[in-house]
Structure 1
């Protein structure tokens, strides 16, 4: 796993790998893809990036460490979440799933009402599983994918690895780095707020939805960032993911489809240090909030853009989710072949989402470091498909029958949702052990303003620690 991490660290920083302790074996999760290696590298890269910020503050970070079993638990965090001792609500909508077409398989993502409506409208069926199943079976997988995507929904044909590599989008993804950090404006050097934590005093405005973006924000919060998640009251949410990824963040609503909401967003950006967003590529730019636009509002800003299929190629603006990227890029097809199954077999976790989130946090902290050392405004870009391509490049491991027990990695915390049992923050940083200052807040329960460091938000719902 050391070589995997060294490659990631060099891509992010151009520097040799610092001292780091990687523990555990790649025998925690089933399957042949090296999910543990990728997850451990993501955790370690983020923790190393936090350590470098500590060094900037004159604090000895100690030797960074990452454990494969803890990293595996982290990419399973929403599945391990408990609410008042019971499993968290299911994250999948009733119509989400893999469907057999007349010539193969296609996956439909219908967790949100608008995506479910796109499936039903494009196929001409009611929102009933048997009706969708019957209609899909009479069409080719490509016909279903095209119809649903054209209607504004989310779908993906199960392709083989070879088919994906030959596909124009697969070729576009192959030409992109796993993470890109680029300067998008001139600015004086930033100054870090006096703190004993890597990101103490750093304001992070998070404009994200499931799942990679919220994971990145959760990591930044654990290293001391003041993270404000901004959503909209009318948009649907997946409760289990909101509870799981909201650790350490405040949550507010701002209506970006109104002039007043966009004006409020401008005020928030003007006083932010980082803006993390996972809208489709170009969506925010169309309403005046592209990376360069935001850098003009706040010179020295670090922006981070996360997407499904990357920022280049014919699918750059296509809606996508982890499960769809696994179908499109050959992962689910290979899983079926390796297990002898007659249906798609994905990774044992939403590993593309989670690992992308950890890598994004690492890239953001690296860009923050550059803004302090070099000055300038910086933009970070990652994608689920790029993480999938990187995972594929790591080779394969011998399959194992997983018997992992993660109970010792869980902790209880009180929240507005009830008592949450969550996965403890991964990554060892002796100089400033990562922690969340509070549990997940109820959506929209905080005010959409920045408060002085150390000042509690009066609208905050009491959540324990």
Structure 2
């Protein structure tokens, strides 16, 4: 397969991103590839999936760099030939970050890691095998497949299925799956879907690409660009940022209202550009706290209860200086508290502009956009056809979850790009902007890129086979991810030891942390050490609630 080039395919993928009405300013569209250099060519993609995930992340990182360079030129008035540098192999490791990061050399799945983090698993989903195993693909009565999800509280779905919320006798992987499977196989796919929609929890039938595109939502999503941009008002003056910098987003203040993966990835990446990121969480809300080890780099973190008068007052004080709000909660949740984009438009009228970033599973508009249940990466994979594509490529007549949270990291990267783009509009034209991204749109785009050729895929399966051939529809998220990371480390161990790929923080509240360094390099305006203002920390670490 020596004739294959991941860089050349990445360039084609990048061009495809521009073709579907990408809402960028003319300079970005005109310059495109002139603003980025690619490194790290490979004759075979790193990620063991038949879809072009490797190239999709390299292309998105390049798009991030292109818009960042344009923003940099606008801010600093630069005329020189400034370029972003993207190593495609480094970019391919981006969605594997949480499997590669360590604290005192411990990976996140090591039981000792629990001693290092603040426990935010309030509903015992991730510490209880039986409850955790709800998140899996299960067969239904007619032999189809449905992806259930424990979300951040497994109780509503377990009880709706007629199962006890806790079952301490089934504390082993297969035993827990077996009892859940016995119940799903008594229901048709439509019956199971009706249950999930009624209780407003997470779940989806496993659809093929063709089935997804036949739905009204599939048609809607496939007609949309990778991210959307709406101008909320045009009277606010252009954003003023100091020409002294030193980084591209120095002085930009971002409120991070997100949990789990996709949303925190957005703000972690924006923090690489020197932005002041303040992550707001609540002690009353569950989360997957082990992700804080890698996703909280560059951030200050505070706890606020936005349903209390004290919490609301502190939050509103922070709003007085905010430039960007990133919202990763269920559709309408933040608006119900009075802090949605229309509320902020009224609050800031005649004062200044802002950017509101909405990350969701299903996206804006379309039949499924107002689903009040939580959206998760696994649900996006199932509904969009990714899981079926993966299973069939492995020679199976069943869907198999893809390696790594591709849709989460894909949507997170799109959120970073969309934010940089909206800030470029603010810096250039003024006004306020609403920009949105979704997990389903990333997957729709990934599927649209097509599969690897049969010879290339056969070569990849031969190389990765001992780790990925054992996977089946009921291989849960962790097992699929661990199989893929085991394979990548076996085949490409030298990559994770590349100094440019690895960031080490010797002193953090978690201990000595090793994580992925920023993929996009724009010298001298963006580097890991100059960009990140803070080392990683647990949720609610900083007091009192202020920007710095």
Q: Distance in 2 between matches of 1:292 and 1:110?
A: 32
Q: Tell me if the contact between 2:135 and 2:148 (Cα under 8 Å) persists in the aligned partners.
A: yes
Correspondence for 1:167 among 211, 215, 234: 215
Moved more, 304-313 or 103-112: 103-112
Q: CA RMSD in A?
A: 2.0
Residue by residue, what CA displacement relative to the aligned partner does 1:214-243 show, whole Å, maximum 9, x if unpaired? 101001101100000101111112122122
Correspondence for 2:257 among 198, 202, 207: 207
Correspondence for 2:135 among 96, 106, 110: 96
Structure with larger Rg: 2
Q: Tell me if the contact between 1:40 and 1:71 (Cα under 8 Å) persists in the aligned partners.
A: yes
How far apart are 1:195 and its partner, in Å? Answer: 0.9
Match of 1:376 in 2: 431
Q: Tell me if the contact between 1:75 and 1:349 (Cα under 8 Å) persists in the aligned partners.
A: yes
Moved more, 332-341 or 200-209: 332-341
Moved more, 166-175 or 300-309: 166-175
Q: Tell me if the contact between 2:392 and 2:398 (Cα under 8 Å) persists in the aligned partners.
A: no
Q: Distance in 1 between matches of 2:152 and 2:331?
A: 20
Query: Is 1:427 paired with 2:466?
Result: no
Match of 1:192 in 2: 241
Q: Distance in 2 between matches of 1:87 and 1:19?
A: 36
How far apart are 1:111 and its partner, in Å? Answer: 4.3
Correspondence for 2:534 among 430, 433, 438: 438
Q: Distance in 1 between matches of 2:397 and 2:450?
A: 24
- Classify 1:218/1:262 alpha carbon distance in 2 versus 1 (closer, same or farther; 3 Å): same
Matched residue SS, 2:245 = coil
Match of 1:355 in 2: 410
Match of 1:463 in 2: none
Query: Is 1:277 paired with 2:327?
Result: yes
Q: Distance in 2 between matches of 1:141 and 1:86?
A: 40
Q: Distance in 2 between matches of 1:269 and 1:9?
A: 34
Q: How many residues align?
A: 450
How far apart are 1:4 and its partner, in Å? Answer: 2.2
How far apart are 1:342 and its partner, in Å? Answer: 4.6
Residue by residue, what CA displacement relative to the aligned partner does 1:242-272 show, whole Å, maximum 9, x if unpaired? 2221111111111122243233322222210
Match of 2:71 in 1: 53
Query: Is 1:74 paired with 2:94?
Result: yes
Q: Tell me if the contact between 1:184 and 1:378 (Cα under 8 Å) persists in the aligned partners.
A: yes
Q: Tell me if the contact between 2:209 and 2:447 (Cα under 8 Å) persists in the aligned partners.
A: no
| 1:104-183 matches, cutoff 5 A | 104-113=144-153, 116-126=154-164, 127-128=166-167, 129=176, 130-183=178-231
Q: Distance in 1 between matches of 2:418 and 2:391?
A: 33
Listed as ranges, the gaps of 5+ residues in structure 1 are 452-456, 458-465
Correspondence for 1:231 among 233, 256, 281: 281
Q: Tell me if the contact between 2:134 and 2:150 (Cα under 8 Å) persists in the aligned partners.
A: yes
Residue by residue, what CA displacement relative to the aligned partner does 1:393-437 show, whole Å, maximum 9, x if unpaired? 112223223523323223332311222221111112123233123
- Classify 1:389/1:418 alpha carbon distance in 2 versus 1 (closer, same or farther; 3 Å): same
Match of 1:27 in 2: 45
Q: Tell me if the contact between 1:281 and 1:311 (Cα under 8 Å) persists in the aligned partners.
A: no
TM-score for the superposition, normalised by structure 1? 0.91
Residue by residue, what CA displacement relative to the aligned partner does 1:84-130 show, whole Å, maximum 9, x if unpaired? 212213896343222222221111211412xx012112111013424
Match of 1:312 in 2: 365
Q: Distance in 1 between matches of 2:103 and 2:81?
A: 34
Q: Distance in 2 between matches of 1:174 and 1:8?
A: 12
